[in-house]
Structure 1
Amino acid sequence: MSESAAIHGELPTESDVSALLERLAREYLVPGAQFAVRHRGEVRTFLHGVAARSSGEPVTADTLFPLGSTTKLVTATLLMQLVSDGDIELDAPIGPLLPELAEAPGPLRESTVRQLLSHTAGLPDMPATEHDPSLRACVAAGAGVELLSEPGRVFSYSNLGYTVAGRLLEAVTGLSWWDAARSFVLQPLGVPSGFLGAAPDAPGGLAGPAPQTAQHAVHLPTSSVHPVEEPGLPKALVPAGALVTSAAGLLRLSGPHHGADGPDVLEPELLEEMRRPATDAPLHGLAEGWGLGLAVHTDGAGRRWYGHDGNTGGATCALRFHPESGTAVALMTNATSGRQMGNQLFEELAALGWEIGRVPAPAGEEPLAGAALRAAADEVCGAYSSGGETVKVRAEADGRLVLDRPQLPPARLELHPGLTFRLRTEPEGARGDARHGSDESRDLYSFVRDSRTGRVGGMYLSGGRLQVREGTGRLG
């Protein structure tokens, strides 16, 4: 039996999905959400709540939500179109194509498109810049950036990589990122779209009359929900996170990968290339692998799904699709707690027999203590840096490990076997249910060893971003 014939089973009834969405949205204090499903050629959209707590305006199927980093799928598709046209090469250095890098010293000019789009160029997240630089100015500022790892070998999530990719698009086509995205991806696929803030040539940022949701910051331990003002992204981050659309629009955007009706914006072999993991390096709870603008996930039956998650200061987005069956889902929320809600939604759908590729809940290992903790502390204590930001791991007199971060309170570092760890920062009186602690208390982070020396040489914090230990140099 083919994989597509054996896939998934039936989606729970519409009333069951609606009830599940509403229950979880209320549990995670999410004011409004859309959940769109493409299954057996049909698209259904489930709705909950309001676009803004302040107005009470209901979420509709047309309400636009921020994509956050899922915008990277558009940027990756645009770069692959240039590969298709023969304007750029996946594995050639980008330096000769960018005037600001052609004569600049530093390793950035040797980066390739494949490395940029798969987060394997060794770049930090973003360089320190002043004011609101253009794509070109930001790339010029990052020309001499110090690499965190050897290119092509280690995964480290980097918005700078997509800033460079957006600048490459601009230099090769002579178009702004927004013009190219709208002309060659969004409009051909019929994606209702807007801009977080105002697009340069689209007053109000919207390509149509659809309303855009408000955003909300949620702190579950104290049950607080506050509106978030998002005036727009810095220009340098536009290719990494500036788009808004609806859940159904996100399914159209990913449609070429899962067989939805629409134009061929890219050849099948290049779509497949986007989905192929670029490295076998572990991603430490973020995904199973990473292709070109797409994360790779595995469901409970071992089937590969693809997609991307996105977060802003007050909204979340999650996309998953399975090309062989043509199944796809998109969850949009207008609250920071939407990420936890989405994890729980996928887990409960799986419990009902409808599997979706997802990051499995971390195993509940007992933290290290006593002599084992003291021995591990000798390995991990020290300073770790990325892009000018430094964090420190230290041991207190009672043996506990603490993580010090700029502009944040110290967090207790709960170390587990295998050098994974959680951070404990909940205030006193937080709810007893572990699911409702801060994101940090639920997320699993990791120290990593340098493959050349076997010593701890870095750590992963904040969504797969690598921090390198002082004195290590580039991780191998």
Structure 2
Amino acid sequence: MKRKLIGLAAATFLTFSPLVVSPPASAVVPNAAEEPSSAAIDAYLAESMESTALPGMSVVVTHNGKIVHAAGYGQDSAGRPITAETPMRVASVSKSFTAMAVMTLVEDGRISLDEPVARQLPEFRMADPRARAITVRHLLNQTSGISDATVDLGAAESATTLAGYVAALGTGTLAADPGTRWAYCNANYEVAARLVEVAGGMRFGEYMKQRVFGPLGMTGSAVGDQAVTPSRGFNSLFGAWVPRTEPRDFLYGGGAGGVITDAADMGRWLISQTGQGRQIVRPQSLQTMHTSSGVRDYGMGWGTETVNGTELLVHSGNLFTYTAVEAIAPDTGYGFAVMTNSAGLYDDTYDVLTGLVAMTQGRAPETPGGGRQWTELILGLITLAAAGLGALGVLRSRRWADRRAGRAGGRIGLRMVPVLLPVPLLALYPALITFLMNGRTVTWAQLTYYAAPLTIAFAVAAVAGAVTTVFRLLRIRSIVSSR
């Protein structure tokens, strides 16, 4: 995020220096269970790498103001070992960082949470008059009424600047009145990032560097690929990890998913988020970001979940080739981040996180893994079965036609329906997945990356059905013509 420029020397010192604030009395918490050792965590993570068969993973665990364990496991696409300093894309985990950038400007009096965005960012316009009532708080709480289904995300994400992104939202409408309904949409945080640019007086990535990353000592972190370039990530294809280039390069320096960081830096971030270590906003602002809107258990870049009886503030992130999750436990002072250089149909990072939480409770963690392997095994068998049935349908098409050539066309057509069913399903595939994702727009491009096994299964079934149908119709036509 960007940091604003202040002319006066005294103001510059106050703005750029982290606030030295004593943590609240509840920040340092006595251990409910003995703190797991770095060696114990390392053993669990090494076992997790083996059971999940992930190509690479970096993890950090913090507690009461210190890093308990930070390390990397596996390799990147170039065969280099993953370490605690290996750059990782954290996708939507970026939203908590964007919220922090906004709050620094709120404390400086440059942004107001409850004033309409359009007054603070005059370029923000939408085709729906209700958009004039959207506040910054609505954006960060994801209650603005903006949704994937009501804006042209394709046009917005093709922009090369945040100003261009915001301009592309001009034809969009709202799915609900601001403040009345929660809908997760990246556009909320891209508008917030643009507001940071305008209020902060510099590009978003520079503001992040100066006002968030820099004060926290996060020297290995940046927004976008210009300053930090991670290696290619991986997609799982029926159990095999295939290195692929991440298509989302966030040319506009996005606030919804553009942060690149590492385990060591995430440790510094998590310590700050638990109210300890170096602070860049006041405790009240931190509490505001962590408190849900009341419309949904979602604050500002943080959601609330209960894991093994422990209430956590959590946010996950998924890109085409990278996956991440962060969490803090306000009651115990723990922080966790799990990042992988891979993306598949099954997200193992959350299972690894669950095991780490169990360890902090003095419980033995369950070994993660198996979800992705079993899912892709089943899809592989379905794909093979579909291909086999398609080949069998072609080979037996003459026999099938001989039996039905004399029947009425309508009855033959009905016989074709089950075989052709995968074809319309494939055509509607993105729309079906979008529906299952509660309206989050899913594109063909996404479905050919982390969902590749499912996409291939759908495609093979559709091709098998279509080819079988064509051969059957040709055989019937041949028989009828010869009579």
Q: Secondary structure at the match of 2:115?
A: coil
Match of 1:215 among 213, 227, 233: 233
- Letter in structure 2 aligned against 1:233: D
Range that drifts further, 126-135 or 64-73: 126-135
1:18 aligns with: 42
Instruction: Provide the secondary structure at the position in 2 that maps to 1:123.
Output: coil
1:353 positional shift: 6.3
Q: Which residue of 2 aligns with 1:392?
A: none
- Cα distance 1:49–1:403, how it changes in 2: closer, same or farther (>3 A)? farther
| Alpha-carbon distance between aligned partners in 2 of 1:119 and 1:170, rounded to the nearest angstrom | 20
Contact 1:29–1:218, Cα closer than 8 Å, also in 2: no
Unaligned 5+ residue runs, structure 1? 200-204, 282-288, 362-395, 420-436, 440-476
CA distance in 1, matches of 2:224, 2:285: 32
2:334 pairs with 1:334: no
Task: Report if aligned partners of 1:401, 1:412 keep a CA contact under 8 Å in 2.
Answer: no
Contact 2:29 2:333 in 1 (8 A): no
In the other structure, the counterpart of 1:182 is 209
Mapped pair 1:161 → 2:174 = no
1:258 aligns with 2:274: yes
Relative to structure 1, the CA distance from residue 3 to residue 103 in structure 2 (aligned partners, 3 Å threshold; closer, same or farther) is: closer
| Partners of 1:92 and 1:413 in 2: CA distance | 33
Structure 1 contact 403–412 (Cα < 8 Å) conserved: no
Q: Output the CA distance in 2 between the equivalents of 1:117 and 1:33.
A: 29
CA contact (8 A) 1:402 1:413 kept: no
| Alignment partners' CA distance in 1, 2:126 and 2:58 | 48
Aligned partner of 1:319 in structure 2 is 326
Residues matched between the structures, number: 358
Does residue 36 (structure 1) correspond to residue 60 (structure 2)? The answer is yes
2:117 counterpart residue number: 94
* Partner Cα distance (2:38, 2:345) in 1: 21
Work out the CA distance in 2 between the residues paired with 1:414 and 1:184. Answer: 39
Q: CA deviation at 1:299?
A: 3.4
Kindly state the Cα deviation for residue 245 of structure 1 after the two structures are TM-superposed. Answer: 1.1
The Cα shift of 1:330 comes to 1.1
Q: Give the aligned CA root-mean-square deviation in angstroms.
A: 3.7
How far has the Cα of 1:403 moved from its partner?
10
The secondary structure found in structure 2 opposite 1:226 is strand
d(CA) in 2 for partners of 1:108, 1:410: 26
How much does 1:151 deviate?
1.6
CA 135–23 in structure 1, closer or farther in 2 if over 3 Å, else same? same
Find 1:121's aligned residue among 131, 144, 160.
144
Residue 147 (str. 1) matches residue 167 (str. 2): no
1:136 aligned residue: 163
- SS of the aligned residue for 2:249 comes to coil
Name the SS of the counterpart of 1:239 in structure 2: coil
* Identity within the alignment, %: 26
Between the aligned partners of 1:414 and 1:332, the Cα distance in structure 2 is: 27
Contact 2:216–2:269 (CA under 8 A) maintained in structure 1: yes
The alpha-carbon distance between structure 1 residues 230 and 410, as it changes in their structure 2 partners (threshold 3 A), is: closer
8 A contact 1:401–1:414 mirrored in 2? no
For residues 59 and 101 of structure 1, what CA distance do their matches in structure 2 show?
A: 41
Q: Return the offset for 1:408.
A: 3.4
- State the partner residue of 1:434: none
Question: Partners in 2 of 1:135 and 1:3 — Cα distance?
Answer: 36
Please report how far the alpha carbon of residue 342 of structure 1 lies from its aligned counterpart in structure 2 after TM superposition: 2.1
Separation in 1 of the partners of 2:222 and 2:316? 18
Paired residue secondary structure (2:166): helix
Paired AA for residue 111 in structure 1: I
Q: Within 5 A, what are the aligned runs for 1:276-425?
A: 276-281=291-296, 289-301=297-309, 303-337=310-344, 340-349=347-356, 354=361, 408=429
Task: Give the drift of 1:95.
Answer: 0.8
Q: 1:197 to 1:135 in 2, by over 3 A?
A: closer
CA deviation profile, 1:312-340 (whole Å, cap 9, x unmatched) = 21111111112343211111111114963
Partner secondary structure for residue 101 of structure 1 = coil
Residue pair 1:307, 1:321 contacting (<8 A) in 2 also: yes
In structure 2, stretches of 5+ residues that fail to align are 1-25, 369-416, 439-452, 456-483
Q: CA deviation at 1:189?
A: 0.4
Q: How does 1:188-203 map to 2 (within 5 A)?
A: 188-195=215-222, 197-199=224-226
Check conservation: 2:103, 2:285, Cα contact below 8 A.
yes
Structure 1 or 2, whichever has the larger Rg, is: 2
Cα deviation, 1:244-267, whole Å, max 9, x if unaligned, reads 1112211212333213321x3111
In 2 relative to 1, CA 345–11 (structure 1 residues): closer, same or farther, beyond 3 Å? farther
Q: Is the 8 A contact 1:319 1:331 kept in 2?
A: yes
Q: Within the alignment, does 1:57 sit opposite 2:80 as a pair?
A: yes
Secondary structure at the counterpart of residue 343 of structure 2: coil
Structure with the higher fraction of residues in strand conformation = 1
User: Which deviations, in whole Å up to 9, do the C-alpha atoms of 1:353-385 show, x marking residues without a partner?
Assistant: 6389xxxx9xxxxxxxxxxxxxxxxxxxxxxxx
* 8 A Cα contact 1:297 1:305, kept in partner: yes
Q: Which has the higher contact order (CA 8 A, sep 6+)?
A: 2
Rate the CA distance shift 1:412–1:321 in 2: closer, same or farther, 3 A.
closer
Check if 1:69 corresponds to 2:77.
Answer: no
Please say if residues 136 and 167 of structure 1, whose CA atoms lie closer than 8 Å, have aligned partners that are also in contact: yes
1:272 to 287, 301, 306: 287
Question: Aligned AA for 1:290?
Answer: Y
Task: Give the superposition deviation at 1:140.
Answer: 2.0
Q: Is the Cα contact below 8 Å between 1:92 and 1:113 reproduced in 2?
A: yes
Distance 1:347 1:308, change over 3 A: closer
Gap change, CA 1:256 and 1:413, over 3 Å in 2: closer
